[in-house]
A = this chain, B = another copy of it.
Amino acid sequence: MTIMPKPSQNIPDRGIYERRESVVRSYSRAMPRQFNRAEHVWIHDDQGGRYLDFLAGCSTLNYGHNHPVLKQALLDYISADGITHGLDLHTDAKASFLEALETVILKPRGLDYRAMFTGPTGTNAVEAAIKLARKVTGRELVIAFTNGFHGMTLGALACTGNAAKRGGAGVPLSHVSHEPYDGYYGPDVDTADLLEQRLADPSSGLDAPAAIIVETVQGEGGLNAASPQWLRRIAAIAKRHGALLIVDDIQAGCGRTGGFFSFEEMGFTPDIVTLAKSLSGMGLPFALTLFRPELDQWSPGEHNGTFRGNNHAFVTADAALRHFWGDEGFIADVKRRGDLLAARLERLAADLGLSTRGRGMMRGIDVGSGEAAEAITSACFAQGLIIETSGAHDEIVKVLAPLVISDDELAAGLDILERCTRDVLAAAYDVAAE
């Protein structure tokens, strides 16, 4: 397999970014290339470089780049002058997507949800979810968790734990309490017990919540994976205290952790689920908020948005659901590859005295510091592997390979990762030993 990274000095002047793009850009700093083409697990730069993509758009490209089935469906749709933009008008594309959602996803799983097409971003799906929870319950407080990430608009940002992101708000973020996630205080403290005690105590200062919002695996917060037992406890606590349970499945859903939803076979059903990222299948902006029909208490247009019906995304999402989720083949592959990934990471971690995080195809290795992690991902990039970090201190090197990756490609990427991790940590050890 050919991986062909290109050194950045060959790159022609790109002053247009300096002149016209805000300094808020981030990934383009660590990967200073100009990309122009991508297919499957590969992304190409304009100097002929080819990179293996273990970032996958932060889990937006679970089916890889420009998957031929999805691409063809979209080309056909555009060629035929299919509706591109129609606000929330009914279109063939929307109807077909909804039918796929019903028959391919919901019915086989025994789930009865209504779909709300929010603005096509994850943060918008979260805003709609918490709005709905507040409306239905008549309460204001939302309980979120340490290290949770839910978006950057003010309502979702209030649910987000990261101090740097929170600080960007410029106003205090209110109406949310952040409680300790599963394992936050170590293995001996059951944080569900802590939450239950405070909610049951009329003098704890924790007001009655409208909702509890949780990721089953915290994508940005360090790939912490909650146990099924803990999640069932949280679901039960929500129910007992009249709060709605929102599972934010934006990063962990769409197959990343095995099932279509990350909470399948765990013994509880969320009241509300948010989806985005890999939902469109091809990386197009698309988001959904799903909820039990009894909760569908919106007035028409009470939450809306110009791009809430992204028909191109309906088309690719429809194709993705039917192509990948119609039988058990894809899911079996993902589970198998997830096990391969786990085995490789655990072996490496054991060798180096490190620990791993995550579940399914959403795993990482804790290398001890953000500095070490950045050194590793930089070294990987120089060898043609795109990979990023996660966690409160960016100390987790995370593997978010496309789910469609072949075993050989996965192994090739992990080889680079392993090599770079060993090198960087050995060098750090040498420095420390001097």
Contacts and interface: CB of A to CB of B under 8 A. Distances in A.
Contacts of A74: 78
A91 interface: yes
Interface centre among A86, A180, A300 (most CB of B within 10 A): A86
Interface string A297-311: 011111111110010
A99 interface: yes
Interface residues of A, number: 151
B78 A71 contact: yes
A317 interface: no
Contact of A203 (B28, B94, B163, B303): B163
A315 B146 CA distance: 39
A83 B57 CA distance: 11
A95 to B, nearest CB: 6
As for how many copies of this chain the complex holds, the number is 4
Contact of A300 (B26, B87, B173, B185): B26
B155 A284 contact: no
Contact of A79 (B29, B75, B203): B75
Contacts of A24: 116, 296, 298-304
Contacts of A147: 201, 203-204
Interface string A149-189: 00111111010111111111111111111101000110001
Interface string A51-67: 00001011011000110
A57 B87 contact: yes
A152 B301 CA distance: 10
